[in-house]
Structure 1
Amino acid sequence: MFSRRFDASSFSKSFSKSTRHSRSTSFSVKDAGVSKRRPSESRRRPGTSSGSVADSSDVTLDNVISPIVTLIVGPDQRIFAAHENVLAKSPFFQSILQNQLLEAQTKKILLPDEEPEVFSAVLEYLYKGEYYPRLIFNKKRNTWELEQEADGGRAEATIHHHEVEGELLKDTAIYCAAEKYGLEELKRIALRKQGLQCGIQASTILTSARYAYAHTPDTDSKLRAHYLALIIRSRNTFKRSGTMQLEMFNGGTQLFFDLFVALCNHVDDISAAASSPRSPRSGRVF
């Protein structure tokens, strides 16, 4: 998605264009609401007229603090730029901006463990309140759907994540990032998008489920419950999956005990429904 490594000379550039899909999630200086006016034009010495020249000792680099923050993301050090007021919508970044000692001219935040494509979606949400592809409500079907490309295609459902060294469902990674950055509304959006993509391999679902368990607290069960329900609904596929068999054999995570409990509850519900007496229909003679 991005190709540049960190370089101090490239600080003024904003986001690079994604190569994973045709829809750009970058933002211009105008989108970010950043004035193009030079800082020196708005920092005159008090009491001086517009035609006067302030003493050079009063205007130094230490007095000119840019509101733009450089974010260096992922192992490849991809560069993003954002206005500090936009980043401050996240408690995670607000804390950093308030407490971390940042250089006056080049404010930098390092996010070496984040995936650039995931962070691009997070930043798009901070600016626009959504991320591509957007949710569209289908009134005829009374369901939520993902917007399609102009040519009728769909955005890719998976990304290559360096942590798992393989494919991961993008919306799951965004949900976990939203958990990290304290963005509850973004979590709700990402959760609603889970399962709206088709044709996902069983191995990718299992990898994403393990990732969800590893990056959400035990108190946050919504995404975990989604994966348990998905595996149960698709049990005919998973019981024939060699990947599932290997995962169950290796075990070692809370996922599989939760899955066992969920399957037991599912069987109990079916048994209870089968054994409960049916209410007689009106007008029927026994």
Structure 2
Amino acid sequence: MGEGGDPASGEEFSLDGEPETTARVTFLDYLRSPIVELVVGNGPSQTVLAAHQALLTKSPYFDGFISKFTEGSPRRIYLPDEDIDATGSLLEYLYYNEYFPKRLGDSKDGPLEIDPTILVPDNDGVALLKHARVYTIADKFGLPALKSLAHSKIHRTTSTARGEIAYARFVYKETSREDLTIRRPVAAFWATRSHVLRHEAEDEFRAMCLEFPQFGFDILSLVLDQKEKRSEAAGPSTHGEAPKSGRKRARVSQG
């Protein structure tokens, strides 16, 4: 009898009749894999990081480069356009399934560890931008779990009006229009708070709307949607009558 298995159970059996089991990959196995150099940035700020190949292959992006390595050639990947801190957070995640600052508890609104490098108040949005950069690099490198983790940390991070504008600018500059996962909460935040927060950062808010018209459009769309829902919930003021225009007379075009 040759090597085979029971089709009904899906188990594979060896010649001696014992079921075969897939070998468990241990953390030590990862550490035994070859070292790959990551050359991050360019110019004077260029930095060389080192990571184990088996961990990097979790990313389809890295795996594509690694699969082209040949015997005796440098095991090196160049990342000239990537942020060094975001790359560091990505590597931390590959090794430990987390990155600093870590979540404290499983509550959706639970806090993160205190990052002593972040000023309070965070007027530059440094904390938000950290997680936003991790989100975008995770998206690029094909790591959806890290992308989701970074997004959850964004919602646990507090900032100021100016910090929120800095974050919104990054999101609308660095993400695609179709990425509603991160864009829609940004627009919703300002749609519900812009009447208050814009006075704290009026110049920045105006500049943001002019630089990214889609930002202003998304906010306006949400505001109008909310107004429409409230009107529908309230119902018509007078049954059977067509709604009247609030304008007493038609606007006349000048010129």
Note whether the superposition's TM-score is higher than 0.5. Answer: yes
CA contact under 8 A between 1:72 and 1:112: conserved in structure 2? Answer: yes
Give the alignment partner of residue 91 of structure 2, picking from 108, 119, 123.
123
Q: Distance in 2 between matches of 1:176 and 1:72?
A: 19
Gap change, CA 1:144 and 1:238, over 3 Å in 2: closer
Q: Distance in 1 between matches of 2:153 and 2:236?
A: 36
- TM-score by structure 1 length? 0.62
1:244 aligns with 2:213: no
CA contact under 8 A between 1:169 and 1:205: conserved in structure 2? Answer: no
State the percentage of identical aligned residues: 28
Match of 1:146 in 2: 111
Match of 1:284 in 2: none
Residue deviations 1:120-150 (CA, integer Å, cap 9, x gap): 1111111111111122336xxx5442343xx
Deviation at 1:84, TM superposition (A): 1.0
Matched residue SS, 1:227: helix
Give the alignment partner of residue 93 of structure 1, picking from 53, 62, 66.
62
The structure carrying a bigger helix percent of its residues is: 2
Structure 1 window deviating more from structure 2 (189-198 vs 211-220): it is 211-220
Match of 2:141 in 1: 181
Deviation at 1:188, TM superposition (A): 0.9
Match of 2:241 in 1: none
CA contact under 8 A between 1:102 and 1:108: conserved in structure 2? Answer: no
- How big is the alpha-carbon RMSD for the aligned residues of Structure 1 and Structure 2? 2.9
Match of 2:224 in 1: 264
Give the alignment partner of residue 210 of structure 1, picking from 164, 169, 174.
169
User: Where in structure 2 are the equivalents of 1:149-164 lying within 5 Å?
Assistant: 153-154=114-115, 156=117
1:67 aligns with 2:34: yes
Matched residue SS, 2:77: strand
CA contact under 8 A between 2:191 and 2:220: conserved in structure 1? Answer: no
- TM-score by structure 2 length? 0.68
Match of 1:220 in 2: 179
Q: Name the amino acid aligned to 1:244.
A: F
Gap change, CA 1:208 and 1:261, over 3 Å in 2: same
CA contact under 8 A between 1:70 and 1:109: conserved in structure 2? Answer: yes
Listed as ranges, the gaps of 5+ residues in structure 2 are 1-26, 238-255
Give the alignment partner of residue 78 of structure 2, picking from 110, 116, 125.
110
Question: If you compute each CA radius of gyration, which structure gives the higher value, 1 or 2?
Answer: 2
